[in-house]
Amino acid sequence: MSCLPSVNPATGEVVGEVPITPADDVQAAVDRARAAQPAWDALGLDGRAEVLKRAAPIFTDRVEAHAELMTREQGKPLKESTAEARGLGSGLEREVDEIVEALRPDVMESGGYRSTVYHDPLGVVGAITPWNFPMSMPNWLVIPSLIAGNTVVLKPSEETPLCGQAYADALNEVLPEGVLTVVHGADDQGKALVQSDVDMIAFTGSREVGKHIMREASGTLKRVVLELGGKDPMIVLEDADLAKAAKFAAFNSFRNCGQVCVSTERIFVMDSVADDFEAALTDLASAMTVGNGLEGADVGPMVNAGQRDHVLRQVDAAVADGAKVLVGHEGHRDNFVTPTVLSGVTSQMDIGSSETFGPVACVTRVADADEAVTLANDTVFGLGAVVFGGANERTEGVARRLTAGMIGINRSAGGVPGTPWVGARESGFGYHKSKDGHRQFTQTRVLTQEAR
Ligand code: NAD
């Protein structure tokens, strides 16, 4: 059996390897998951919740080991890996309770009849995940699938198979056999899972692959939930707290080396405050250290050479087309890319319109809020957006005109616990988290009878 090596992007060392699942064997994994589903379903909502909650202390005990593995396999700084690893255990109980509440049947009566709306399992869910949050992305799809009574075949990213396997291994210490299976590989295994007879594909990844999955799934009208890429805008109004805005811009452009779906990829700043904002952002970017995430660096390596080349190509093209480098764009080595701030970016540049997924903050000066909103919405994407401005109705009005699915004012885009993680336009199809999101992993079924 051939193996998939996992390589540390900071050092080039092989971290480990997993056996590749031959694409022809993927349907057999789905068959085993289907065989395990009735017994898992029979445990009932509360029974399944109780089983899953038993995984919380296992994740908590492994925070250090999981965090180190994440940094070695994917490159992000250890403090970011630690936060991701910690969330798996500390957030599990609340998440499970929220899903259970969302999936309890609803009862309605009218004209002497009573209808019960059930949220039944679909059967087998195929979950396909990316590398940028190598444990929490599987977690976001696997937990709601399982609580709903589905069994799951998970295909983690080929860049982070060890993290995907470690995540599943922890859950499998409490799950009955066959309820969660991992298949390893790249596009071929992903395609085989989509072509198998799974009942649903839950996917997080790029827009291009999302579109491919939707086309392929249409043959049998498989349910799909697609969480895709973004090109998130940030608007800085005249009355913004500029120090706070610059700090957020630096954090959200360079976190995880910019490899975050809701990274700040385009910054529209009012002309009148642009000099001060750019100066503050440039200072913050210059102060960031770049290096091995295990050794305390603020910014780790890009996940691989392909991703690095894509980012550097976009920056080079932007500079050739007139963007000004305020800091960065030098000192790159191996997979490490220096945090870069560009000014004078336009939406005609590739870096102003296609997802970058790298440590580059792109600033565009605008005359007023109308221009900022027009440019921010001039995209096929619609994942997150943020507005920095005074705590007043005007700032809220600007935020309400943005076409993204999640909009933050003076903070990040994502909502408080219990709200959906949702992309608009080509950033997603369906969504998860929240009552409605949890129900997308189920088949709604209505039973009506005389009211007694
Ligand atoms: P990707 O789309 O290249 O790969 C994602 C997964 O799909 C991997 O497991 C891959 O092996 C598999 N795959 C590739 N081709 C396939 C095919 N034809 N059929 C089925 N599966 C296939 O994405 P990536 O590079 O791993 O991750 C980065 C992307 O993910 C970015 O675009 C980012 O914005 C997005 N993302 C979105 C969210 C969100 O919540 N919206 C969260 C994290 C990442």
CATH number, residue 266: 3.40.309.10
Atom of ligand 1 nearest to the CA of 230: 34
Same domain, 249 and 178: no
Question: 171 and 26 share a domain?
Answer: yes
Q: For 11-30, how does the pLDDT look when each residue is reduced to its tens digit (9 = 90+)?
A: 999 999 999 999 999 999 99
pTM, whole model, 2 decimals?
Answer: 0.98
Tokens at 293, concatenated: 């995430």
Lining ligand 1 with CB less than 6 A are 128-132, 137, 155, 157-158, 186-187, 190-191, 194, 204-206, 209, 212-213, 227-230, 261, 355, 357, 383, 421, 423, 428
Q: Do 434 and 404 fall within a single domain?
A: no
Give the mutation target among 20, 76, 131, 132 for probing the ligand 1 site: most ligand atoms within 8 A of CB: 132
Query: In terms of domains, do 125 and 252 share one?
Result: no
- C-alpha closest to that of 256 among 264, 244, 247, 268: 264
Candidate of 74, 133, 157, 310 to mutate for ligand 1, largest count of ligand atoms within 8 Å of Cβ: 157
For residue 32, is pLDDT > 80?
A: yes
pLDDT in tens, 80-122: 999 999 999 999 999 999 999 999 999 999 999 999 999 999 9
Residue 379 confidence (pLDDT) above 80: yes
Q: 33 and 55: one domain?
A: yes
Residue at 352: amino acid letter: G
Here the CATH number for the domain that contains residue 183 is 3.40.605.10
In ligand 1, the atom with minimum distance to the C-alpha of 209 is 2
CA 158–ligand 1 middle distance (angstroms): 10
Collect all residues with Cβ–Cβ distance below 8 Å to 184 and sequence separation of at least 6: 4, 18, 19, 20, 21, 155, 156, 158, 161, 164, 165
Q: Are residues 236 and 267 in the same domain?
A: yes
Whether the pLDDT of residue 427 is over 90: the answer is: yes
* Residues forming a β-bridge with 114: 109, 449
Ligand 1 atom index nearest CA of 208: 2
378: left (phi over 0), alpha (psi -120 to 50) or beta: beta
Structural domains in the chain (count): 2
**Could you tell me the CA-to-CA distances from 164 to 107, 200, 206, 337 in Å, in that order?**
39, 19, 18, 26
Residues 206, 328: one domain?
no
* Per annotation, catalytic residue among 80, 227, 355, 426: 227
For the segment 40-54, what is each residue's pLDDT rounded down to a tens digit? Answer: 999 999 999 999 999
Q: Do residues 223 and 171 both lie within one domain? A: yes
Residue 138: predicted pLDDT: 98
Does residue 262 sit in the same domain as residue 214?
no
Give the pairing of strands 14-19 and 3-7. Answer: antiparallel
Token pair for residue 405? 């699915």
Query: Given this model, what pLDDT does residue 169 score?
Result: 98
221 with 236, same domain? no
* Whether residue 165 is found in the same domain as residue 29: yes
Average pLDDT, the chain: 98
pLDDT above 80 for 1: no
> How many Å lie between the centroid of ligand 1 and the Cα of residue 257?
17
Could you report the per-residue pLDDT of 220-275, keeping only the tens digit for each?
999 999 999 999 999 999 999 999 999 999 999 999 999 999 999 999 999 999 99
- What is the reported pLDDT for 452? 85
Is a pLDDT exceeding 80 seen at residue 156? yes
Same domain, 208 and 262: no
| Bridge pairing between strands 151-155 and 360-366 | unpaired
Chain center to CA of 101: 24
Q: If you average pLDDT over residues 142-151, what whole number do you get?
A: 98
- Torsions phi, psi of 208, nearest 5? -65, -50
Residue to probe by mutation, ligand 1, list 6, 261, 264, most atoms within 8 Å of CB: 261
For residue 102, with 0-12 CB atoms within 10 Å meaning exposed, 13-18 middle and 19 or more buried, which class applies? buried
Q: Is 267 left (phi over 0), alpha (psi -120 to 50) or beta?
A: beta
Query: pLDDT above 70 covers what percent of the chain?
Result: 100
Q: Whose CA is nearest to atom 23 of ligand 1?
A: 205
Q: Are 156 and 183 in contact (CB under 8 A)?
A: no
SS3 readout for the chain? CCEEEEECCCCCCEEEEEECCCHHHHHHHHHHHHHHHHHHHHCHHHHHHHHHHCCHHHHHHCHHHHHHHHHHHHCCCHHHHHHHHHHHHHCHHHHHHHHHHHHCCEEEEECCEEEEEEEEECCEEEEECCCCCCCHHHHHHHHHHHHCCCEEEEECCCCCHHHHHHHHHHHHCCCCCCCEEECCCCHHHHHHHHHCCCCEEEEECCHHHHHHHHHHHHHHCCEEEEECCCCEEEEECCCCCHHHHHHHHHHHHHHHHHCCCCCEEEEEEEHHHHHHHHHHHHHHHHCCCECCHHHCCCECCCCCHHHHHHHHHHHHHHHHCCCEEEECCCCCECCECCCEEEECCCCCCHHHCCCCCCCEEEEEEECCHHHHHHHHCCCCCCCEEEEECCCCHHHHHHHHCCCCCEEEECCCCCCCCCCCECCCHHHEECCECHHHHHHHHEEEEEEEEECC
387 pLDDT more than 90: yes
**Is residue 227 flagged as an active site residue?**
yes
Question: How far, in Å, is the centroid of ligand 1 from the Cα of 426?
Answer: 14
Per the structure, the complete domain to which residue 247 belongs is given by: 232-417
Residue whose tokens read 């295994």: 189
> From atom 26 of ligand 1, which residue's Cα is the shortest distance away?
130
